[in-house]
Amino acid sequence: MNGMTRLFGTDGVRGLANKNLTASLALRLGAAAAHVLTADNRSDGRRPTAIVGRDPRVSGEMLAAALAAGMASRGVDVLRVGVIPTPAVAFLTDDYGADMGVMISASHNPMPDNGIKFFSAGGRKLPDAIEDEIEAVMENLPETGPTGHGIGRVIEESPDAQDRYLMHLREAVGTDLKGIKVVVDAANGAASEVAPRAYAAAGAEVIAIHNAPNSYNINDNCGSTHIDQVQAAVVEHGADLGLAHDGDADRCLAVDSQGNVVDGDQIMAILAVGKKDHNSLRHNTLVATVMSNLGLKLAMKREGIKLETTKVGDRYVLEELNAGGYSLGGEQSGHIVVPEHGTTGDGTLTGLFLMSRMAETGKSLAELAAVMEVLPQVLINVPVSDKAMILKSEAVQQAIAEAETELGDQGRVLLRASGTEELFRVMVEAADGEEARRIAGKLAAVVAAV
């Protein structure tokens, strides 16, 4: 850290483990987070507690030890809950009544990467202001902390953490899934044990693939970023559907019985219609990001459901859900949030809700997904030297105006800066795929010339 570059990104702190995400950084980060997140909970003499979980990648063991040491050095008792999904850590932080939670995972990133995500009491993601405060504390962290009885304890592996989470999942979905045959690709990640158990406990016949993590194979040609694996398995086994998770299992993508992909937008459409049928879609509103397909907006309009849109990132979806008191939101990538049952995206819960809708309607996944027509969407990532200048360019603004005039109400244009790379993303949707590609290419060329 140099005081100029923000340590926290759109979803916690990420980097190449042991290179720019080191054990010493994790130790200081754990100590600073403990100082900030437990400061208000020490006045009654009670020792603060923290929950720490991780995905199976090899560097997670090292980082978990460092984080635990950092938090214990500031007088926080640490309960390590082992390999478990991100949403489970959020749930357990609340369920155990802990003051904070930490998940060590780089989600869908390759194995050499890792990340650290914090949750406050109640299992809620941190707002920018709190992350900034943690960074500021790191810069001025005293070398020493409490001594003697003031030092926190580190408890290795809770005996009932996974069972608590599985019970929570079972209680959230009461429908019997008997008769549904599902293939689940666990990405050799955090859901490798939990997801197959949860689906089987609900009554489904489960065929699990890529559920044997060895610390090195997480996301390796499997999971939601390599959905061809579950597509092939569904067809091979004659399953009713397939579900693909990412490394930390906060997202879920699906495929129907013919192997066709059902993405996060389609899943949201299915669940929104289901909640409306049950009069549980609060304010008759679904929350999605600006990257969601135009087809979702058209489908919701046809179904009489309002669509609120946010910036890209599940944290912004969460903020809008909380601010508006809404009951369903998510992202095209498969992060689906149901606030009644969780404070963050939960891939396993999404899979259960999706199968529950199939069971209660007697419809196939393909029939349910037909509520939404996915319009062709073209995304081009354009390397740029100064992201801030792109939308200030008159040439870019003129090109956007021309594209929007050409598409009319049958398409959409979206240009936005990448949050983590020196890239500008050009996205075009149109009724015709070739038209979308042509217009996107034209816009990308204008952006590249700035």
Residue 359 belongs to a domain with what CATH number?
A: 3.40.120.10
- The answer to whether residues 268 and 339 belong to one domain is yes
Give domain status of residue 54, yes or no.
Answer: yes
- The answer to whether residues 21 and 130 belong to one domain is yes
What's the whole-model pTM score?
0.91
Q: Look at residues 105, 127, 159 and tell me which one is the last residue of a structural domain.
A: 159
Mean pLDDT for 81-104 is 97
Q: Which two tokens stand for residue 312?
A: 């890209």
* pLDDT score, position 44: 67
- The answer to whether residues 99 and 140 belong to one domain is yes
Per DSSP, 225 falls in state G
Whether the pLDDT of residue 422 is over 90: the answer is no
Mean pLDDT for 44-57 is 91
Euclidean distance between CA atoms 155 and 150, whole angstroms: 16
CATH number, residue 395: 3.30.310.50
The angle at the Cα of 71, spanning 69 to 72, to the nearest 5 degrees, equals: 65
Considering only CA atoms, which of 214, 182, 178 is closest in space to residue 195?
182
The catalytic position among 59, 73, 107, 356 is: 107
292 in catalytic set: no
Segments forming the whole domain that contains residue 68: 13-159
* pLDDT score, position 40: 76
The answer to whether the CB of 443 falls within 8 A of the CB of 403 is yes
Q: Look at residues 137, 159, 181 and tell me which one is the last residue of a structural domain.
A: 159
Strand-pairing partners, residue 296, are: none
| Tally of domains within the chain | 3
Mean pLDDT for 153-163 is 91
- The answer to whether residues 122 and 268 belong to one domain is no
Give domain status of residue 387, yes or no.
Answer: yes
- The answer to whether residues 187 and 257 belong to one domain is yes
Considering only CA atoms, which of 57, 232, 33, 187 is closest in space to residue 118?
33
Give domain status of residue 6, yes or no.
Answer: no
- The answer to whether residues 153 and 179 belong to one domain is no
Place of tokens 């952006």: 447
Per-chain mean pLDDT for the chain: 94
Q: What share of the chain is helix, strand, coil (3-state, %, to 5)?
A: 40, 20, 40
- The answer to whether residues 80 and 93 belong to one domain is yes
Euclidean distance between CA atoms 326 and 241, whole angstroms: 28
Whether the pLDDT of residue 442 is over 90: the answer is yes
Residue 107 marked in a binding site: yes
Give domain status of residue 7, yes or no.
Answer: no
Mention every residue, 6+ apart, whose C-beta is less than 8 A from residue 381.
Answer: 418, 423, 424, 425, 426
- The answer to whether residues 334 and 402 belong to one domain is no
Residue 248 marked in a binding site: yes
- The answer to whether residues 100 and 193 belong to one domain is no
Q: Look at residues 159, 182, 216 and tell me which one is the last residue of a structural domain.
A: 159
Give domain status of residue 146, yes or no.
Answer: yes
Per DSSP, 323 falls in state H
- The answer to whether residues 142 and 214 belong to one domain is no
